[in-house]
Amino acid sequence: MNTEGGDRLSSLSDDLIIKILSYNDTKQAIRTSILSPRWKNTWKSIPHLDLSTDDDTSTTTFPDFAHFFYFNLDFTRDLSSNHDFTRVLSSRYNEVELASVKLTVREGFRQAFVQTVIEYAYSHNVQKMIIKWLDIMRLELPNSLFMSQSVKDFTFIGPTSIFNQPKINSFLDLPALTTLHLENVTISNKNCAEYGGLFSKCPNLKNLTLFKCDIDEVNSFIRHSEFSKLAPETGLYSYANVVVPHVKNLTVVDCRGRFLLYAPELSSLMYETYYYETFYANGLSCLEKVEFYMCPFEEDSYAVVEILQGFHNAKFLTLGLEIFEVASFVDEVTNLPSPFGNLTSLEIYPRRLDRKKNVKKVKIPKQVTNFLLGASPNATVSIYSRKEVEALKHATSAQRMLAKLQV
């Protein structure tokens, strides 16, 4: 390792060393301080704070984590209190702003510990937050978690159990936010209606993902003056209203609750539900790409037709095969003109492979074909059966296995 009286590690520039250490979690970064005298304090300049773990079954507790920090910092007193962990954070160079913070909250973590990390992150102008909340005993989230002037990218993931989802009761005060991912969380408007709704203070939000969330239907999800365009006489205000005027990309997967959407600047929508949930949208004049999957009942055929008509500007349309397995759907579209004048690509793809219907070559009724393609006869069409998708799935698995063997 020695080269002309030095070592190769010491010959690296400070910026390169910091970049290398940024690929490790915070505990590992501190551990590297023993590799070179020059690295003793380098970890204090890393713009990333990673207090997470990829092992969901880990039994590592906060005191163990804090003890490791202080052992490497030559602190000798008892290391189990939140005050001690605050000293760890204060050992970082205070002038260094944070690019990202990752935190896994587990059972047994003290409320003060979580609050300390949040306050430290926001006081250092963190740009990206990734929170994994696995504490099923503490489901009320601190309001301060969603109040930051600096955060642009926020990911929050709750526990997988639908019976133990943390709840967001407060509006999100994140004026710089552009990308938001919420997963396994209950979203309520109980305490934020007076402020205009959950996203009313996120004026720059462009990309929104709601994955397996439970949407509160008791109160309007959000209120906005633009809802005057949504035909209030229909009584749709009782729905889970989602108003995101500036969102460009929206993904909604397996969210429980009726869904009413207003997103006039939306260009890409991916909506998937394993069963059937009521969906209503209006003002989608900029929508170009749509992936839409649900499993309706026969009595829902008229509602499905209304949904599809709302996608009339789409250029790229992917629909679930299950929609066409509703027999009465054919009757609903027989006398309707095709709304899809801009369509260039249509794909029909099954999402529920457990259904036994239509295992042979798929044939879409002529009336449905006219409804989808009548205004865009030159659009390319791809239709997949469950049998074909199963074959593709197995082929993909075999390819992955072959790639591992080759490595």
Sign of CA dihedral 319, 324, 329, 333: positive
Is 336 buried (19+), middle (13-18) or exposed (0-12) by CB count in 10 A?
middle
- CA dist list (Å): 379 to 290, 328, 343, 388: 15, 25, 6, 22
Q: Higher confidence at residue 383 or residue 180?
A: 180
Average pLDDT over all residues of the chain:
76
Rounded CA-CA distance 214/138 in Å is 17
- pLDDT of 275 over the 50 cut: yes
Instruction: Tell me phi and psi for residue 262, to 5 degrees.
Output: -125, 110
Query: 70 falls in which pLDDT band (50, 70, 90)?
Result: very low
pLDDT attached to residue 391: 77
> Kind and range of the H or E element at 41?
none
pLDDT attached to residue 207: 96
Mean pLDDT of 144-161: 93
Query: 398 falls in which pLDDT band (50, 70, 90)?
Result: low
For residue 162, which of 134, 186, 131, 138 has the smallest C-alpha distance? 186
Mean pLDDT of 391-402: 64
Query: 10 falls in which pLDDT band (50, 70, 90)?
Result: low
Rounded CA-CA distance 276/214 in Å is 14
Is 76 buried (19+), middle (13-18) or exposed (0-12) by CB count in 10 A?
exposed
Close Cβ partners of 65 (under 8 Å, ≥ 6 residues apart): 27, 51
Query: 74 falls in which pLDDT band (50, 70, 90)?
Result: very low
Mean pLDDT of 378-390: 85
For residue 215, which of 250, 259, 249 has the smallest C-alpha distance? 259
Rounded CA-CA distance 397/22 in Å is 33
* % of the chain exceeding 90 in pLDDT: 26
pLDDT attached to residue 362: 62
Q: Higher confidence at residue 308 or residue 56?
A: 308
Which of 34-43, 83-92, 195-204, 262-271 has the highest average model confidence (pLDDT)? 262-271
Which of 61-65, 108-112, 190-194, 243-247 has the highest average model confidence (pLDDT)? 243-247
Q: Higher confidence at residue 236 or residue 256?
A: 256
Secondary structure E strands in 106-244 = 128-133, 153-157, 167-168, 179-183, 186-187, 207-211, 214-215, 240-243
Provide the pairing of β-strand 259-262 with 279-282. parallel
Rounded CA-CA distance 272/60 in Å is 36
Cα–Cα–Cα angle for 156, 162, 167, rounded to 5 degrees: 45
Query: 33 falls in which pLDDT band (50, 70, 90)?
Result: low
pLDDT tens digits for 282-294? Answer: 778 899 999 999 8
pLDDT tens digits for 176-191? Answer: 999 999 999 988 766 5
- pLDDT of 268 over the 90 cut: yes
pLDDT attached to residue 173: 92
Q: For residues 173 and 201, is the Cβ–Cβ distance under 8 A? A: yes
Rounded CA-CA distance 77/93 in Å is 22
pLDDT attached to residue 56: 45
Query: 221 falls in which pLDDT band (50, 70, 90)?
Result: very low
- pLDDT of 59 over the 70 cut: no
Total-model pTM: 0.81
Q: Higher confidence at residue 13 or residue 141?
A: 141
Name the residue ranges covered by the structural domains of the chain.
Answer: 105-406
- What is the arrangement of strands in the sheet containing 48-51, beginning at the earlier edge strand? 48-51, 100-105, 128-133, 153-157, 179-183, 207-211, 249-253, 268-272, 289-293, 316-320, 345-349, 380-383
Tokens representing residue 8 in the block: 């190769």
| Residue whose tokens read 């990752």 | 102
DSSP state of 24: S
- pLDDT of 404 over the 50 cut: no
For residue 368, which of 398, 403, 310, 327 has the smallest C-alpha distance? 327
- pLDDT of 76 over the 80 cut: no
Secondary structure in 3-state letters for 74-140: CCCCCCCCHHHHHHHHHCCCCCCCCCEEEEEECCCCCHHHHHHHHHHHHHCCCCEEEEEECCCCCCE
Mean pLDDT of 12-31: 71
Rounded CA-CA distance 318/379 in Å is 12
Q: Higher confidence at residue 221 or residue 373?
A: 373
Cα–Cα–Cα angle for 229, 233, 214, rounded to 5 degrees: 75
Rounded CA-CA distance 40/277 in Å is 56
Rounded CA-CA distance 319/271 in Å is 10
pLDDT attached to residue 357: 54
Side chain identity at 390, as an amino acid letter?
E
* % of the chain exceeding 70 in pLDDT: 69
Instruction: Tell me phi and psi for residue 406, to 5 degrees.
Output: -65, -35
